Amino acid sequence: MPEHPACTMTPNPLDEFGVISRFFTDRSFYPSAWPSQGAGDDCAFLDVGPMRLAVTADMMALGSHFLENADPYTVGRKSLAVNLSDLAAAGSEPKAFFLSISLPRIDQCWLDGFSKGLLEEARRFNCPLRGGDTVKSFAKPGQTPYTAISITAMGELPAGKGLTRAGARVGDDIWVSGTPGDAFAALGQIFGYWTFAEPLFGYFRSRMDLPEPRVALGRGLLNVATACCDISDGLVGDLKHILERSSVSARLFWPAFPKSDAMKLLPEAVQRRCILTGGDDYELLFTAPSDLREEILQIAERAKTRVSRIGEIVSAAEPMKIIDEKGTEIAYGTSFNHFGGAGS
């Protein structure tokens, strides 16, 4: 057998995005392939004749993305919702999805709940299941095999259109939908970071288990936003992807951040931890020219979605800052990153 060249190690450990950049970013030219762009964004765009497709794929597992004892109905709904959120971030209309699932055994009761939630979410957004694969998962002796769920979702876009993380310009406003932080408030209690009594925990748990894909808002922003992504790993962390791709920086205003009534009841330090770096919200974070504020509010009203203007895009020469009501810069932790650990 031919010898393989020696592996070249990077000086620092790679995180999730470092792995993607180093090992799975293929810039080769394929002359007969569909033209594509958007690699590194929430969706890839494939130009097929006069049509543009938005395609996203996510892998999820019980015990990692979901608690081991999670309700299979909410697992089914959320599994598809997080993919629909990626399509929303691209401004696309959902059209179809494909499911591959690895199961340690055939548990008909679990599958009944999972499929019910999955297909209810599909019908809500007119995005049918069109294929996939089912396999059995195995584990070493003494270990427990786990359930893994992989979904590839596809949406449709007008030719040449599609929102990406690149495109934010100096002077743009920074907006966010919904009330970020609610999902992580529940996760923090589950992990033992803090404790809330009912009904607070019940509200936060519902936001974690059943995120709402902002599909209508994303479609409305298609010709308005300059950059967009969804918040899966934490607002600050996902905003940094926009800043890096757009070669700009940001100034955020903490008093402008939207907070649910439940979030307002929590200590200030917990609010900042949840809202700034918590993640698992699947809200849309986007930038747009400042002269389009009224149009954005009208789009949000038609989409029946709350949006809040939380900052502005500034020159890349300035460090990103978050300013409190006194004009003082506040500190923030790091957002979630597979292989990089949860934010502190």
Give the pLDDT confidence of 155-205 residue by residue, as tens digits: 999 999 999 999 999 999 999 999 999 999 999 999 899 998 889 999 999
* 216: amino acid identity, one letter: A
Query: Which region holds residue 138: left if phi is over 0, alpha if psi is between -120 and 50, else beta?
Result: beta
Alpha-carbon distance 305 to 177, whole Å?
Answer: 7
Q: How confident is the model at residue 22 (pLDDT cuts 50, 70, 90)?
A: low
pLDDT given at position 34: 54
Q: Which residues contact 49 (CB under 8 A, 6 or more apart)?
A: none
Do 208 and 183 form a contact (C-beta atoms < 8 A)? yes
pLDDT given at position 197: 87
Q: How confident is the model at residue 341 (pLDDT cuts 50, 70, 90)?
A: very low
Contacts from 132-137 at CB under 8 Å and sequence distance 24+?
A: 132/98, 132/99, 132/100, 132/101, 133/100, 133/101, 134/100, 134/101, 134/102, 134/103, 135/100, 135/101, 135/102, 135/103, 136/102, 136/103, 136/104, 136/105, 137/102, 137/103, 137/104
Alpha-carbon distance 268 to 295, whole Å?
Answer: 32
Pick the CATH number of 34-157 from 3.30.1330.10, 3.30.70.1520, 3.90.226.10, 3.40.50.300: 3.30.1330.10
Average pLDDT over residues 58-76: 83
Alpha-carbon distance 275 to 259, whole Å?
Answer: 8
**3-class SS of residue 222:** coil
Digit-coded pLDDT (tens) for 274-329? 999 998 999 999 999 999 999 999 999 999 999 999 999 999 999 999 999 999 99
Do 277 and 343 form a contact (C-beta atoms < 8 A)? yes
Half-sphere exposure of 103 (CA within 13 A, CB side): 14
Joined tokens for residue 262: 């439940």
* CATH superfamily of this structure's domain 173-323: PurM-like C-terminal domain (3.90.650.10)
Determine how β-strand 249-253 pairs with β-strand 307-314: antiparallel
Half-sphere exposure of 269 (CA within 13 A, CB side): 3
Identify the bridge partners of residue 141 per DSSP, sorted by sequence position: none
The structural domains of the chain, with segments of one domain joined by +, span 34-157, 173-323
Task: Evaluate if residue 331 carries a pLDDT over 60.
Answer: yes
Digit-coded pLDDT (tens) for 7-19? 666 666 655 555 5
Query: Which region holds residue 147: left if phi is over 0, alpha if psi is between -120 and 50, else beta?
Result: beta
